[in-house]
């Protein structure tokens, strides 16, 4: 990964929301708890679960959980409190939690213990079941899982407390507004593990990765292209053209308090502040991510920006969270776009430990950037989690990923990871191109030879490089024995 240092980010792009020196917590009459907690919620089983809020300085806060656990703490001088509950494994029964301080009681009922995942990104993650999806009528009609629960973060840039968000049970009516990808992931995990599943959906259509990354992290990175830091945003009052390296958060927040947050979800770090930070440190099992379409124009920076965001979230949660993401689907972008290069940046992000990529080379739609097949997306994310995080080692986690190349005078042999019982072609192996050292590519013949793909062309002598599916829109021809498509790639 390149070593980047930021020099200047115009502070008018940073956003007014940094007045997040406000707290994550809802504010009632003195005693309150963070808005992520509520009736019908799912808490991570067999874990340590932080619970936090506001209170009267010096007062005692007592938290009573119906699995015979009582913990107490004292509200600090800033009015903050936090306790940690130890959760047992799911036993099939709903739980209750009471929080008590200075005569006030906050009670949560129908709390389940299970597996909790955060689903984030842009429109393909936000995409609800009520929008266009395959087999929609039957999927909605059959969505009756009272032990799958969703929390949807409100889309409000002036709301850094998750006000208006609440936990809901999945049924045929409520599921219409739930993330389709999140639902199909939860459905698969619930059926395979036979435990409740909680999905926190924090996604916003048309957003760039820069908006989901903290200001502190962005200040450590300057992507190579100027465009990556030229996100349009409404200018706030005052002259904020200052060097971030000479400022701390409190100075920045004091400056932006002069202005009002504009309705632009692509201001730097704004979605981190309003839709991620309020969730921290709620205990989650891991993260699901579907985003990238809005960063196609600065694909050359995406690997750095995306891997930086992953490490940022892990640092903030103080946990090595599993992070599974969807490779953006093929789509006919304009002729100047190189979405295949963005897909390659995503593939290369797999060098970050404890990550997985769901490949969608076979389910893209040439004329719609929102493919209707959300079932395979959710189920492929679930497959990654089951294999990598729940010890289902008898399965193949994903589709074939380019591993290595072996050069010969007339051809190149390619090896792959995640081939299962072998590589499989769909109709003919199309989409392969080959080049010599000059980098000029020609259409190539590709053949499955054992566990390898042999690529050659009579027009290329001493070939050095191969690429596959190197187009904005392409329908996969290479799969593994599990029927999972190979990722596009460039061997360079």
Asked whether the predicted pLDDT for residue 343 surpasses 70, the reply is yes
Q: Is residue 364 part of a domain?
A: no
Q: Is residue 469 part of a domain?
A: yes
Asked whether the predicted pLDDT for residue 279 surpasses 80, the reply is yes
pTM score, whole prediction: 0.89
**Total structural domains within the chain:** 1
Q: How confident is the model at residue 436 (pLDDT cuts 50, 70, 90)?
A: very high
Q: Is residue 103 part of a domain?
A: no
Q: How confident is the model at residue 29 (pLDDT cuts 50, 70, 90)?
A: low
> 201-239 as b/e, with b when 16 or more CB fall inside 10 Å?
bbbbbebbbbbbbbbebbbbbbbeeeebbebebeebeee
Determine the pLDDT at residue 229.
Answer: 44
DSSP string, 379-398: HHHHHHHHHHHS--TTS--S
Determine the pLDDT at residue 258.
Answer: 38
Determine the pLDDT at residue 144.
Answer: 94
- The CATH number of the domain where 440 resides is what? 2.40.10
User: What are 467's strand-pairing partners?
Assistant: 433, 490
Residue 320's Cβ-side half-sphere holds a number of Cα atoms within 13 Å equal to 5
Determine the pLDDT at residue 222.
Answer: 60
Q: How confident is the model at residue 397 (pLDDT cuts 50, 70, 90)?
A: very high
- Return d(Cα 323, Cα 357) in angstroms, integer: 9
Q: Calculate mean pLDDT across residues 30-58.
A: 97
Asked whether the predicted pLDDT for residue 20 surpasses 70, the reply is no
Q: Is residue 432 part of a domain?
A: yes
Asked whether the predicted pLDDT for residue 317 surpasses 80, the reply is yes
Asked whether the predicted pLDDT for residue 425 surpasses 50, the reply is yes
- Return d(Cα 334, Cα 371) in angstroms, integer: 17
Lowest mean pLDDT among 188-192, 261-265, 404-408, 437-441: 261-265
Determine the pLDDT at residue 58.
Answer: 96
Cβ-proximal residues to 189 (8 Å cutoff; 6+ apart), any chain:
115, 117, 195, 197, 382, 385, 386
Asked whether the predicted pLDDT for residue 168 surpasses 80, the reply is yes
Q: Is residue 276 part of a domain?
A: no
Determine the pLDDT at residue 219.
Answer: 77
Asked whether the predicted pLDDT for residue 21 surpasses 70, the reply is no
Q: Which residues form the domain of 469? A: 401-490
Asked whether the predicted pLDDT for residue 346 surpasses 80, the reply is yes
Reported as a single tens digit per residue, the pLDDT across 105-146 is 999 999 999 999 999 999 999 999 999 999 999 999 999 999
Determine the pLDDT at residue 217.
Answer: 87
Q: Calculate mean pLDDT across residues 78-94.
A: 97
Determine the pLDDT at residue 223.
Answer: 54
* Mean confidence (pLDDT) of the chain: 88
Q: Is residue 21 part of a domain?
A: no
Q: Is residue 25 part of a domain?
A: no
Q: Terminal CA-to-CA distance of the chain, rounded, Å?
A: 16
Reported as a single tens digit per residue, the pLDDT across 216-254 is 888 787 655 444 444 333 222 232 233 333 333 443 344
Asked whether the predicted pLDDT for residue 10 surpasses 70, the reply is no
Cβ pair 157, 275 in contact under 8 A: no
Lowest mean pLDDT among 12-21, 142-151, 187-196, 350-359: 12-21
Determine the pLDDT at residue 261.
Answer: 54
Determine the pLDDT at residue 262.
Answer: 61
Determine the pLDDT at residue 186.
Answer: 98
Determine the pLDDT at residue 469.
Answer: 98
Determine the pLDDT at residue 224.
Answer: 53
Determine the pLDDT at residue 259.
Answer: 37
Determine the pLDDT at residue 215.
Answer: 85
CA dist list (Å): 67 to 46, 60, 70, 467: 12, 21, 9, 56
Q: Is residue 375 part of a domain?
A: no
Q: How confident is the model at residue 441 (pLDDT cuts 50, 70, 90)?
A: very high
Are β-strands 145-152 and 355-358 bridged in parallel, bridged antiparallel, or unpaired? unpaired
Reported as a single tens digit per residue, the pLDDT across 59-69 is 999 999 999 99
Asked whether the predicted pLDDT for residue 433 surpasses 50, the reply is yes
Which carries the bigger pLDDT value, residue 319 or residue 16?
A: 319
Which carries the bigger pLDDT value, residue 176 or residue 157?
A: 176
DSSP string, 50-65: EEEEE--TT-EEEEEE
């Amino acid at each position: 990964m390149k070593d980047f240092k930021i020099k200047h980010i115009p502070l008018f792009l940073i956003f007014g929301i940094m007045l997040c020196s406000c707290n994550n917590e809802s504010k009632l009459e003195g005693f309150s708890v963070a808005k992520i907690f509520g009736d019908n919620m799912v808490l991570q089983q067999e874990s340590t679960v932080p619970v936090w809020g506001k209170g009267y300085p010096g007062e005692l806060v007592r938290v009573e959980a119906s699995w015979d656990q009582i913990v107490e703490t004292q509200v600090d001088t800033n009015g903050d409190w936090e306790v940690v509950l130890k959760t047992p494994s799911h036993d099939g029964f709903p739980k209750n939690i009471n929080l008590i301080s200075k005569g006030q009681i906050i009670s949560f009922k129908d709390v389940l213990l299970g597996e909790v995942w955060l689903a984030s990104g842009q429109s393909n993650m936000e995409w609800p079941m009520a929008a266009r999806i395959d087999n929609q009528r039957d999927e909605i009609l059959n969505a009756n899982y009272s032990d799958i629960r969703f929390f949807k973060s409100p889309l409000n840039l002036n709301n850094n407390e998750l006000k208006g968000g609440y936990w809901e049970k999945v049924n045929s009516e409520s599921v219409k507004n739930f993330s389709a990808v999140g639902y199909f992931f939860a459905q698969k995990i619930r059926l395979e593990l036979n435990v409740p599943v909680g999905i926190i959906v924090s996604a916003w259509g048309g957003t760039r990765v820069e908006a989901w990354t903290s200001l502190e992290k962005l200040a450590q990175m300057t992507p190579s292209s100027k465009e990556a830091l030229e996100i349009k945003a409404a200018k706030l009052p005052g002259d904020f053209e200052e060097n971030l390296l000479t400022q701390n958060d409190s100075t920045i927040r004091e400056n932006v308090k002069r202005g009002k947050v504009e309705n632009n979800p692509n201001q730097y770090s704004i979605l981190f502040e309003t839709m991620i930070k309020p969730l921290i440190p709620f205990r989650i099992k891991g993260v699901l991510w579907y985003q990238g379409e809005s960063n196609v124009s600065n694909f050359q920076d995406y690997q750095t920006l995306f891997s930086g965001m992953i490490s940022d979230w892990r640092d903030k949660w103080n946990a090595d969270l599993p992070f599974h993401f969807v490779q953006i689907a093929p789509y006919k972008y304009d002729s100047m776009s190189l979405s295949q290069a963005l897909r390659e940046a995503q593939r290369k992000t797999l060098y970050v430990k404890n990550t997985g990529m769901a490949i969608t080379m076979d389910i893209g739609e040439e004329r719609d950037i929102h493919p209707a097949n959300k079932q395979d997306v959710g189920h492929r994310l679930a497959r990654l989690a089951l294999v990598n995080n729940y010890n289902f080692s008898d399965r193949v986690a994903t589709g074939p990923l380019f591993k290595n190349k072996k050069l010969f005078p007339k051809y190149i042999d390619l090896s792959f990871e995640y081939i299962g019982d072998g590589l499989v072609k769909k109709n003919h192996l199309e989409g392969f191109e080959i080049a010599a050292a000059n980098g000029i590519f020609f259409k190539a013949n590709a053949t499955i030879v054992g566990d390898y793909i042999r690529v050659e062309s009579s027009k290329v002598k001493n070939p050095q490089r191969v690429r596959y599916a190197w187009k904005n829109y392409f329908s996969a021809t290479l799969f593994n024995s599990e029927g999972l498509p190979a990722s596009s790639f460039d061997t360079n």
